[in-house]
Amino acid sequence: MPVTSLFTSASHQEQAIAHLFVIVLIWMGVILALVTGLVTYIVIVYRKKGEGEPRQVFGNRRLELIWTAGPILLLIYIFIATVHTIAVSDPRTANRSPEMTIIAHQWWWEVHYTGTGVVTANEIHFPVGKPMLVEFKSADVIHDFWVPALGRKVDIIPGHPNRLWIDVDRAGTYLGTCAEYCGAEHAWMRIRVIAQPPAQFDQWEREQEQIPPEPTTGDAAAGLALFRALPCINCHTIRGLGPTPSLAPDLTHLASRETLAAGRLKNTPQNLAAWLRDPGYFKPGTQMPNLRLSNEQVNDLVAYLETLR
């Protein structure tokens, strides 16, 4: 089970930022040691021994030069290192059109892949070694996209799209969170980044483009009819079923995901059933209503949703 870790790095953008942080930390440590060391030394060595005023000293050109030029040089060095880090971690986006759009909602993530039109939610697939320009938008309040292993962090502000290059170097699963308080379920607005080698990523994208076949028999067929008849279809898109609202996560390939409800639950049929019975139990405040479904309805809906691979 991966954890949200501040100490994993999966991107040279993250490495550049971490490197700058360590350099500045070391310099600050040296200065702290120097200043406190000298103060302690002076306090001990020159403590008052006799009576009367101590001898007064005024000015020392060499010392003045050292403690003026030293900090200036250090600041110039940190400035250059910072500009370099910005260039590496935040390259210009110019007039490019973004490869992806991520829309933050209370409390989940909507993910669009521009080229293929693939739409998914909460679990974001990236190809390794291929920089992706991502545009971030908000559907409601201010959120913040933060996957520590990828380094960059960006506020998502209503009416003001922000852009970010995301360039993953290493395949793996990396967790992130919304990092700006956005309401009751802010803590359960998790991000799961799945970085795959380009061939695997293309394969995933091709699978996502497909529309899963509609079940025609059994509980699953009954579940499909229920999904159409109940309010589910007013908020959730399942491609092939008609309208494509984006008020709630796209469920076209729900069963292929690892988690439910933005990382709240592991995606198992049991958890899906529990979620349908009472979403507010797991995420108090969630926009998903409790439809007071009967056990049979839950059973049929789960049978249908599990076909959405």
Pairing of strands 259-260, 190-196: unpaired
* 79 forms part of the interface with ligand CUA (CB under 6 A): no
Q: Which is nearer to ligand CUA, 122 or 208 (CB)?
A: 122
Minimum CB–partner distance for residue 5 and ligand CUA (Å): 19
Question: Rule CB under 6 A: which of 185-244 touch ligand CUA?
Answer: 186, 189
- Contact letters (x/-) for ligand CUA, 155-194, by CB under 6 A? -----------------------x-xxx---x--x-----
Interface pattern 131-150 for ligand CUA (x via CB under 6 A): ------------x-------
Residue placing its CB nearer to ligand CUA in the complex, 89 or 138: 138
Instruction: Provide, rounded to whole angstroms, the least separation between the CB of residue 283 and ligand CUA.
Output: 12
Instruction: For the CB of residue 192, give the shortest distance to ligand CUA in the complex, in Å.
Output: 15
Picking from 240, 241, 215, 216, the residue whose alpha carbon sits closest to that of residue 230 is 241
Of 122 and 237, which has the nearer Cβ to ligand CUA?
Answer: 122
Q: Which of 185, 180, 126 is nearest to 158 (CA)?
A: 180
**Least distance (Å) between residue 304 CB and ligand CUA:** 29
* Interacting residues with ligand CUA (CB under 6 A): 104, 107, 143, 178, 180-182, 186, 189
